[in-house]
């Protein structure tokens, strides 16, 4: 240990410990994601963790002598042990809370206090073991050797892996699900426009007067607008799965953050593909990316992935430390925000869809899924000036800010409407508009403190479930029709399948919608459910009433049972559950019946490992706290 200063020892110990953790996590991620030797991942693991170790070492080098660690060997072992223990504990707690506890202690065998105490014990044990190892290793080296070794690994590792990464480049983000044999399609081409997070009551064709949405209004004037359409879930993955499968979330099982869309379900594009359609999808939200198996039935399925901060690769963004640095940057250091760091803007979606249509093979009709994200937070100012209101930066705004957030949301909708207008104009210019079926809908809505909260996914009130549904039929179809019947997202896939002249699978529970004026109501109830971040909710609407039930002790603090007379209380502000027990009992029974039928149709669910790259994208969109 001769000659080693406490400062040099601390920097050497902390840097080596951080490098070991970083390279170790890179190896774990590589195995989990079947990445092989990923130089981009290794580059950023060495860079992020190595530099973190250097910074920690400098801090320890200054602090440890002040508390009596004046020998180089002690500083080397202490700094390394504390750095190793801290990093491993943070990563371990993060993964256990996310993957094992599903981000909630409700209903778990462990309490928050026990979890914290357990983490502390693990940290102390790791620190003791690391100290013993580093103490033994450190006796064989001098200060210069230790420091040069640590910094040498950092510099050489960054240089070699970075150079290799630049040569290899990034992999494409497209998935294919080709069909060996298919029929001959005779129906119209179909474009399903799905706008993430778009409330029906924020469109002028639905009576909203704060803004005008002329392109969407024109689409409604050329087709049928369903005035009372309801989603079956209040966040993206289960709701889009319902749109594509015509199954309740309890049936298709894409309910939780780690759930994928099972192979056992039959999707709308699979039906159309088998009927002879060419199928193309442009997904714009990580929740429906190929990672979660939403490419089923698409000949081409593109995930319009956002750009990563710091120039990182997708694999590098799987590192826990990267995500923590990104979060710090987003909340405290980022004044100018770029939409491409969250999703691709509407003009890109329209451009990609229009380009595919222009270059398409002219051998039959196509089905296109176009996913717009602009109504989802962050709400960007248009024209872009770098300003945006983001959940990741301010998860719980004051209700006093509701009008400001609502205005920003409306501005995003106006921009979105312009881009949908561009899409329609392109179809008209190619002479395709009249012969194409266009369906416009949303996966869910958004809350602006109407019930004391924000965003979506944690309640089943109508601001999150009431979605637009507009169907523009091919040439000769109804136009300017307003249908006041209750319909559901479940009904979208059967409606498109019927228009294509194909046969819907027996498993689909939705009904084809008639677009004609005065058509009979297809259903007398609407059911929705959610199981997100500890909030387990179900809702049943029928005969002028809406009943919502929630699990006891839910994090949102929702009552276990609520009853609203929605005809006279559309905002759902007057809970009548206490005074109308008879109605509660009736609707609770009906809800249980629908849910039991949905569970009886359930396929075997599947999960996927959510890596940190996916975690980052989910967090950027507010799905991870």
Give the pLDDT confidence score for residue 599 in this predicted structure: 94
Q: How many helices (H) and strands (E) does the chain have?
A: 16, 19
Give the pLDDT confidence score for residue 620 in this predicted structure: 54
Count CA atoms within 13 Å of residue 571 on its CB side.
7
pLDDT over 70 percentage in the chain = 85
C-alpha 13/C-alpha 7 separation (Å) is: 10
Q: Which two tokens stand for residue 458?
A: 């944690």
Least confident of 37-51, 62-76, 382-396: 62-76
Strands 189-195 and 366-372: parallel
Residue 340 has pLDDT above 60, yes or no: yes
C-alpha 353/C-alpha 370 separation (Å) is: 7
Residue 128 has pLDDT above 50, yes or no: yes
Looking at per-residue pLDDT, the higher value among 329 and 369 belongs to 369
| 480 and 221 Cβ atoms separated by less than 8 Å | yes
Mean pLDDT of 292-309: 90
Q: How confident is the model at residue 151 (pLDDT cuts 50, 70, 90)?
A: very low
Domain ranges of the chain: 6-168, 191-306+342-620
Residue range 21-64, pLDDT digits in tens: 988 888 887 776 555 667 777 888 888 898 888 998 899 888 87
Q: Which two tokens stand for residue 57?
A: 């070492």
**In 3D, which of 52, 59, 50, 51 has the Cα closest to residue 78?**
59
Q: How confident is the model at residue 129 (pLDDT cuts 50, 70, 90)?
A: confident
Residue range 79-124, pLDDT digits in tens: 888 998 898 888 888 778 766 776 667 667 788 888 888 888 988 8
Strand order in the sheet with 436-442: 174-175, 300-303, 278-283, 366-372, 189-195, 436-442, 466-472, 224-230, 481-488
Residue 155 has pLDDT above 60, yes or no: no
Give the pLDDT confidence score for residue 274 in this predicted structure: 96
Residue 486 has pLDDT above 90, yes or no: yes
Give the pLDDT confidence score for residue 158 in this predicted structure: 41
Mean pLDDT of 593-607: 85
Least confident of 43-52, 71-80, 578-587: 71-80
Give the pLDDT confidence score for residue 140 in this predicted structure: 57
Residues 6+ apart with CB under 8 A from 554: 106, 534, 535, 536, 537
Residue range 233-267, pLDDT digits in tens: 999 999 999 999 999 999 999 998 888 999 999 99
Looking at per-residue pLDDT, the higher value among 417 and 328 belongs to 417
pTM tops 0.95: no
Q: How confident is the model at residue 356 (pLDDT cuts 50, 70, 90)?
A: very high
Mean pLDDT of 337-353: 94
Least confident of 87-101, 445-459, 474-488, 507-521: 87-101
Give the pLDDT confidence score for residue 28 in this predicted structure: 80
Least confident of 51-60, 64-73, 558-567: 64-73
Task: State the average pLDDT for the chain.
Answer: 86
At the fourth CATH level, the homologous superfamily of domain 191-306+342-620 is Alkaline Phosphatase, subunit A (3.40.720.10)
């Amino acid at each position: 240990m001769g000659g080693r200063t406490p400062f040099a020892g601390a920097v050497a110990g902390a840097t080596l410990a951080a490098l070991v953790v970083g390279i170790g996590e890179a190896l774990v991620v590589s195995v989990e994601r079947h990445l092989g030797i990923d130089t981009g991942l290794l580059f950023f693991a060495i860079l992020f963790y190595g530099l973190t170790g250097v910074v920690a070492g400098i801090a320890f080098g200054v602090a440890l002598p002040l508390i009596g660690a004046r020998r180089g060997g002690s500083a080397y072992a202490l700094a390394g042990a504390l750095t190793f223990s801290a990093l491993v504990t943070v990563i371990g707690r993060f993964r256990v809370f996310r993957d094992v506890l599903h981000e909630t202690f409700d209903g778990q065998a462990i309490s928050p206090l026990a979890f914290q105490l357990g983490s502390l014990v693990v940290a102390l044990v790791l620190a003791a073991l690391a100290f013993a190892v580093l103490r033994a290793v450190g006796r064989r080296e001098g200060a210069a050797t230790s420091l040069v070794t640590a910094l040498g690994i950092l510099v050489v590792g960054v240089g070699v892996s970075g150079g290799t990464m630049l040569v290899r480049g990034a992999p494409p983000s497209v998935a294919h699900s080709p069909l060996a044999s298919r029929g001959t399609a005779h129906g119209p081409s179909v474009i399903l426009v799905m706008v993430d997070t778009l409330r029906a009551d924020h469109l002028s064709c639905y009576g909203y007067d704060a803004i005008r949405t002329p392109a969407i209004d024109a689409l409604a004037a050329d087709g049928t607008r369903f005035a009372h359409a309801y989603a079956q879930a209040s966040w993206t993955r289960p709701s889009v799965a319902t749109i594509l499968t015509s199954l309740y979330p309890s049936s298709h099982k894409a309910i939780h953050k780690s759930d994928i869309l099972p192979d056992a379900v039959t999707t709308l594009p699979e039906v159309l593909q088998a009927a002879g359609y060419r199928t193309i999808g442009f997904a714009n939200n990580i929740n429906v990316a190929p990672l979660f198996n939403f490419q089923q039935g698409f000949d081409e399925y593109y995930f319009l992935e956002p750009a990563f901060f710091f120039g990182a690769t997708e694999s590098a963004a799987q590192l826990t430390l990267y995500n923590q640095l990104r979060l710090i940057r987003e909340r405290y250091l980022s004044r100018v925000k770029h939409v491409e760091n969250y999703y691709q803007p509407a003009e890109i979606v329209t451009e990609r869809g229009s380009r595919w249509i222009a270059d398409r093979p002219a051998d039959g009709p196509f089905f296109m899924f176009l996913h717009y994200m602009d109504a989802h937070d962050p709400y960007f100012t248009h024209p872009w000036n770098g300003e945006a209101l983001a959940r990741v930066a301010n998860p719980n705004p004051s209700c006093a800010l509701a009008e400001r957030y609502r205005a920003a949301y409306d501005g995003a909708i106006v921009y979105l409407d312009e881009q949908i207008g561009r899409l329609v104009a392109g179809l008209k210019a190619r002479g395709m508009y009249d012969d194409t079926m266009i369906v416009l809908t949303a996966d869910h809505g958004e809350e602006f403190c109407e019930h004391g909260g924000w965003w979506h996914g944690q309640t089943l009130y109508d601001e999150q479930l009431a979605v637009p549904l507009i169907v523009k039929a091919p040439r000769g179809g109804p136009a300017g029709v307003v249908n006041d019947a209750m319909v559901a997202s479940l009904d979208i896939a059967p409606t498109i399948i019927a228009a294509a002249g194909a046969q819907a699978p027996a498993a689909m529970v939705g009904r084809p919608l008639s677009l004609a004026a005065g058509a009979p109501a297809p259903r007398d109830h609407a059911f929705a459910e959610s199981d997100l971040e500890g909030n387990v909710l179900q809702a049943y609407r029928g005969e002028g009433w809406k009943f919502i039930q929630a699990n006891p002790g839910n994090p949102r603090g929702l009552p276990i049972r609520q009853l609203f007379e929605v005809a006279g209380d559309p905002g759902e502000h007057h809970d009548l559950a206490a005074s109308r027990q008879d109605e509660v009992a009736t609707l609770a029974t009906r809800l249980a019946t629908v849910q039991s039928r949905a569970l009886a149709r359930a396929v075997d669910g599947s999960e996927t490992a959510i890596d940190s790259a996916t975690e980052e994208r989910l967090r950027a969109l507010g799905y991870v706290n």
